[in-house]
Amino acid sequence: MLEDLQLERDLTVAVERGEIVVYFQPQVDLASERVVAMEALARWKHPQRGIVGPDAFIPIAERNGVIHTLGEAVLQTACRYASSVASKFWPVEVAVNASADQLTTPWFFDRIHAHLAHCELEARYLTIEVTESQAIGNPEIARQLGVLREEGFGISIDDVWPESVSTDRVLALPATELKVDRSVLYRDDDDEGLRSLVALGRERGLRVVAEGVETRGQLARVKAAGCDRAQGYLFGRPGPSDDMDDLLASTGD
């Protein structure tokens, strides 16, 4: 508890001090096995604690409002990186996680447009990821996502659970992509749920991405289930942009 309070205090200055850094994790197209996207994942380079993962500070940032400046810093870095990759390798999409509070702030949309224009990126190269739990039941978020989708941005519903009771409501959201929760791959039973989610996604023209692919066996399963893309340690752990450059350089033609 005391530790949390200290972390909260530190976080308010961390963004200004440039301690929030962005790692990227590759996403692979399963048909071509080529890297087609990178997810931006926030890390905190804490002066005393070292690298702190987002699960320890995103909830604090959401509570105290720092998520707005933090989220914008991530967005800016991600747009810059997409632009740099396109000039050095081939164009890849970048996916940025957004919290519900950001999506319901009109200012966030202005910032998206500003960063995109500054980096001379087309909207289709930026995907906004929002978790199933945050997107469902919030009509304002659904409306805002609809506007972004109309403008050509990718909209991904993150951490979708195949047997979720709210699958119908997820599928009704104005998305372009479903990202299946990685826990699906960590159980031994058959992939019926995953296959039916893929089929429902297909019907609605949604891309289905499997998260958390760590082994060749899991890769075979997500391919067999008909997923379009995969992300996970098998293809690369989240890392600094230099690591991603090395990866792209080594997988290029």
- Is there a contact between 133 and 159 (Cβ–Cβ < 8 Å)? yes
232 counts as binding ligand C2E under rule CB under 6 A? yes
Residue closer to ligand C2E, measured from CB, 40 or 253:
40
> Cα-flanking dihedrals φ and ψ of residue 32, to 5°?
-100, -10
Select from 118-126, 169-177, 198-206, 210-218 the region that touches ligand C2E (CB under 6 A): 210-218
Q: Rounded CA gap, 49 and 17, in Å?
A: 15
Strands 207-210 and 177-180: what pairing?
Answer: parallel
Q: Which residues bind Mg ion (CB under 5 A)?
A: 97, 129, 158-159, 211
26 counts as binding ligand C2E under rule CB under 6 A? no
- Is there a contact between 213 and 222 (Cβ–Cβ < 8 Å)? yes
Which H/E stretch holds residue 2?
A: helix 2-14
Task: Give the distance, in angstroms, between the CA of residue 225 and the centroid of all CA atoms in the same chain.
Answer: 22
Residue closer to ligand C2E, measured from CB, 55 or 188:
55
Select from 10-18, 80-88, 188-196, 206-214 the region that touches ligand C2E (CB under 6 A): 206-214
Give Rg (Cα) of the chain: 18
Contacts of 48 (CB under 8 A, 6+ apart): none
Q: How far is the CB of 231 from ligand C2E (least distance, A)?
A: 6
Q: Per CB under 6 A, which of residues 110..139 are in contact with ligand C2E?
A: 129
Q: How far is the CB of 119 from Mg ion (least distance, A)?
A: 21
Q: How far is the CB of 31 from ligand C2E (least distance, A)?
A: 20
- Which one among 26, 162, 201, 212 touches ligand C2E, defined by CB under 6 A? 212
Q: Rounded CA gap, 239 and 220, in Å?
A: 25
Both tokens of 134, joined, read 């945050």
71 counts as binding ligand C2E under rule CB under 6 A? yes
Q: Rounded CA gap, 63 and 58, in Å?
A: 9
Residue closer to ligand C2E, measured from CB, 129 or 228:
129
Interface residues toward ligand C2E, by CB under 6 A: 25, 41-42, 53-55, 58, 71, 74, 97-99, 129, 158-159, 182, 211-214, 231-233, 238
